[in-house]
Each structure stands twice: as C-alpha cells, then as structure tokens.
Amino acid sequence: MDFNLPDEIQQIKQQMRRFVDEQIVPYERDMLDGSDLKPDVRRRLEAQMKEMGYWHISTPEEYGGLGLGLLTRCILWEVMGRTIAIPTRKPQIFGPDVSPILFQLNAEQKEEYLHPVIRGEKRYCFGLTEPDAGSDPSRIRTTATRDGDYYIVNGYKRFISNALKADFIQLMASTDRSKGARGLTTFLVDMSSPGVKIIRTQPTMMDDDPCEIAFDDVRVPARNRVGEEGEGFKFAQDWINVGRLRHGARAIGVIERCLEMSVDYAKQRVTFGKPLSDRQSIQWMLVDCYMDLQQLRTLVYQTAWRADRQEDVRNEAMMVKILGDRMSFQAADRAIQIHGGIGLTPELPLEKFWRDQRSMMITEGSEEVLRMALARNVIREFGR
Ligand SMILES: Cc1cc2nc3c(=O)[nH]c(=O)nc-3n(C[C@H](O)[C@H](O)[C@H](O)COP(=O)(O)OP(=O)(O)OC[C@H]3O[C@@H](n4cnc5c(N)ncnc54)[C@H](O)[C@@H]3O)c2cc1C
C-alpha cells in the first residue's frame, strides 16, 4: 500500500496552494460580492486558471475538457477550500460548472443545452426542493402532464441556487404522483418559457440568494424530457457521489486553514502570563482539529482513488459528506473560540467559514437523511 499522492498530483497541489495562499488569501474578503466573486475578480482569476492549464477540470476530454480524475479534483477543491473567496454554491474558477447529467443527454439535447453550457453561453440551475418537499422528494407536488408533443408543468420550487442567472432549469417534476419518488422525471425547462416566474430571492445567513420559482401551465416540449418518465434519479448517482466528495475535499481545506490560524494565534496571544498555546484546554481544541483533519483526508483521498477505479463508493461518499461538513464546522467553531472576539468579526475569515460550513450540514443531503440511508446499508451488510 502506498498512501502518498502520485508525484504529478503533489506538484499540482503545491502549485495551486501557492497560488491560493499568495494571490487570493491576502485579499479574500475584498474579492467577494455577496456569496460570489466580484465580476472583475472572477474574470481575472478565471483567466489565470486558463493560463495555468486548469480550465474545465471536470469536463471529459471528448468534450474539450481536462477530464481530471476525482482524486486530482479533490486536491483542487481542497486547496480552494482554504479561502472564503471561492464560492460554495456558485461556479468556482475552473470554467463553467457542467452538471454530469448533461453528458447523458441525447444528441439533440446536447446540442441545445450541453455544448452551450461548456462554451459558457448558457447557465442552468437545479430544481428539486419545494415548500413541502426537501429531504423527501416523494412529496414533490410539481407535476408534468403529457399533452401531445408537450408536457404542461405546474408547481412551485424554492431554495433554487443560481436561478437568477440561469437560462434553463433541470427540473424534477412528477409524471405520476401515485408512484412517489419513482414517478419523478427530469426536464430541461427554459427559464424564459411563458409561465415560469421567479417570485423572490430568499436571503440566507451565508449571503446566498436562492430563489422561489412558480411554474404556471408551462408548456415544455416532450423532447426536453431527460430519459424516460420515472427516471428522475437514474442519472443522478455519479453526480451525487462527486458532490459529496467535493464537500469532504473542501472541508479539508477549511479545517487546515482554521488550524493554521488557530495555532498562530494561540502562540502569540498571551493571557495571565502565558501564551494560549500553553493551555491544555486550547491544546485539546487544536488536537481535535488535527485528528479530524487526518481522518478526513485519509477517507477523502481513499474514496476518490477508489471512485477513479470505478469502485462502488456510495457508503464512503455519504461518510465523507457527513464527517467533512461536521468536522469543518466544528473546526471553524473552535477557531472562533480560540480567537475570542476578533474571531466573530469580518476582519478574519472564520465567521464566514462558520456560516458556510453550518449550511452544508443541511443542503445537498442533510446529515440525518444521509445517516438514514447509511443505516439501511449497514444493517443489510452486517445483518446475519
Ligand atoms: C442556500 C441554499 C441553497 C439551496 N440550493 C438548492 C438548489 O439549488 N436546488 C434544490 O433543489 N434545493 C436547494 N436547496 C434546498 C436544500 O437542498 C434543502 O433545504 C435540503 O434538502 C433540506 O430540505 P428542507 O429544507 O425541506 O428540510 P426538511 O426535509 O424538511 O428537513 C428538516 C430537518 O429534518 C431532518 N429530517 C428530514 N427527514 C428526516 C428523517 N427521516 N429522520 C430524521 N431527520 C430528518 C433534516 O435532516 C432536517 O434537519 C438549497 C437550500 C439552501 C439553504
């Protein structure tokens, strides 16, 4: 067994870490406009990524991207996780985010949706959540009813990220409500279609601005259905696994940065005649962060490596998300405690890490729901 990263990935890590620490971290707070990068900063960083050869890291080579393996992408996400400047729910700086589902479209749909997304001409959002359906998609009430060559879509979605700038939405709607989650189907719906209306944005403590969207008798061409009726989740598993690994990888970067800042501060801050780093209660917080960091890193790298070998990593990906989100939130929380009052201010990145990582335990699969799914697999695997 060799637990070391391959040389070429080590080099990528060193190069990108230098870039993040020298060119982003010192200016990170000023680079932000709400939860996104300021437009001129985004343009500059994206141009730098292109120049350095990190453009379209997730897009397969046959579509003109780099098609990097998951382990390499995890390293990039980890390094980006070190700074609050790189958005959590907006595209990063490696080119347009391309949903893996788009690569599974038919040729005609690829022409209309995938290729423009890759070229940066179209943007999209993903719509599953509704007022009555979040963790439990079987409760989705948005319906798509067949009418000749069209479907008529009616319903209401909420908390939809990136909707304001989206050209189309990957919409989860029910084509057969009697079947619950098995009756769900994915459609590509143009946001400019008559009957699609953004009702409002929802402010959040992370500065994100997800939207509520109404669908009122929206006529969607049947050719915009992805796969067959009832296959809403068929194409999602790879995407879900990758998303969970991305959470874990980002969490490594957050914990590492919080730990570095906390050690530096604890060494220089003197109270009652001694630096904080001499106090056991502070040392234990540092050690907790360190132990979490080592465990998470091992699990994330191993899971990504196995996924690159086409192994089934569903359980590991769930663990990565549960542990990563929780450990990184706790690291930010401990770091704030160690820094005292200054940790609560926007002079340091810690409060932003804390807000962002808190939200991760709810979105894209909450901790409880992941544990529920994991429990089913554990009981099946270990039952006699
Ligand atoms: C900033 C932001 C961006 C988002 N972006 C998107 C997006 O782009 N597209 C999209 O479709 N959605 C998006 N969401 C929605 C997000 O995915 C949901 O909020 C999430 O799935 C949880 O659903 P819910 O809020 O309805 O909570 P609920 O499902 O009502 O859950 C409430 C609580 O109960 C717990 N719970 C639920 N079921 C169980 C159970 N069986 N046992 C124990 N505990 C349980 C949950 O873990 C949670 O803690 C976004 C949300 C936010 C805040």
Pocket test for ligand 1, best of 164, 322, 366 (most atoms within 8 A of CB): 366
- Sequence-ordered list of residues with C-beta below 8 angstroms from that of 58, at least 6 positions apart, any chain: 65, 67, 68, 73, 94, 97, 98, 100, 242
Ligand 1, residue 359: give the atom nearest the CA: 53
Mean pLDDT of 354-367: 96
Specify the amino acid at residue 104. Answer: Q
CA distance 73 to 352: 23
Ligand 1, residue 365: give the atom nearest the CA: 21
210 near 201, Cβ under 8 Å? yes
Rounded mean pLDDT of the chain?
96
Structural domain 237-382, CATH architecture: Up-down Bundle (1.20)
Mean pLDDT of 10-24: 97
pLDDT above 70 coverage of the chain, percent:
99
Distance 366 CA to ligand 1 centre (A): 6
Radius of gyration from C-alpha coordinates of the chain: 22
Ligand 1, residue 128: give the atom nearest the CA: 11
CA distance 377 to 1: 27
Mean pLDDT of 56-64: 94
Ligand 1, residue 208: give the atom nearest the CA: 1
Q: Is the pLDDT of residue 234 over 90?
A: no
CA distance 276 to 280: 9
Backbone angles phi, psi at 32, to 5 degrees: -95, 145
Mean pLDDT of 114-142: 96
Q: Is the pLDDT of residue 183 over 80?
A: yes
Output the ligand 1 site: residues, CB below 6 A: 89, 125-129, 134-136, 159-161, 204, 208, 210, 359, 362-364, 366, 368-369, 372
Q: Is the pLDDT of residue 237 over 80?
A: no
**384 band by pLDDT with thresholds 50, 70 and 90:** confident
**24 band by pLDDT with thresholds 50, 70 and 90:** very high
CA distance 289 to 294: 9
CATH number (2.30.40.10, 3.40.50.2020, 2.40.110.10, 2.120.10.30) of 124-226 reads 2.40.110.10
CATH 1.20.140.10 residue ranges in the chain? 237-382
Distance 89 CA to ligand 1 centre (A): 15
pLDDT score of 342: 98
pLDDT score of 109: 97
Structure tokens at 21: 């620490």
Q: Is the pLDDT of residue 317 over 90?
A: yes
Express each pLDDT in 95-110 by its tens digit: 998 988 899 999 999 9
Q: What is the DSSP string of 181-213?
A: GGGEEEEEEETTSTTEEEEEE---TTS---EEE
CATH 1.10.540.10 residue ranges in the chain? 7-102
pLDDT score of 240: 86
Structure tokens at 252: 């490594």
pLDDT score of 267: 98
Q: What is the DSSP string of 266-321?
A: HHH-EETTEEGGG-HHHHHHHHHHHHHHHHHHHHHHHHHHHHHTT---HHHHHHHH
Mean pLDDT of 255-264: 98
Ligand 1: which residue has its CA nearest to atom 27?
A: 134
Ligand 1: which residue has its CA nearest to atom 52?
A: 159
213 near 196, Cβ under 8 Å? yes
Mean pLDDT of 192-206: 97
User: Tokens 């700038």 identify what position?
Assistant: 165
3-state secondary structure 219-270: EEEHHHEECCCCCCCCCCHHHHHHHHHHHHHHHHHHHHHHHHHHHHHHHHCE
Q: Is the pLDDT of residue 248 over 80?
A: yes
CATH 2.40.110.10 residue ranges in the chain? 124-226
Structure tokens at 8: 């070429």
**54 band by pLDDT with thresholds 50, 70 and 90:** very high
Structure tokens at 313: 């990593």
Distance 360 CA to ligand 1 centre (A): 10
pLDDT score of 1: 82
Express each pLDDT in 168-180 by its tens digit: 999 999 999 999 9
Pocket test for ligand 1, best of 215, 325, 362, 367 (most atoms within 8 A of CB): 362
CA distance 231 to 183: 8
**239 band by pLDDT with thresholds 50, 70 and 90:** confident
Structure tokens at 204: 């959040």
Specify the amino acid at residue 182. Answer: R
pLDDT score of 235: 75
pLDDT score of 16: 97
Say yes or no: domain 7-102 is CATH 3.40.50.12780.
Answer: no
Q: Is the pLDDT of residue 238 over 80?
A: no
Mean pLDDT of 79-93: 95
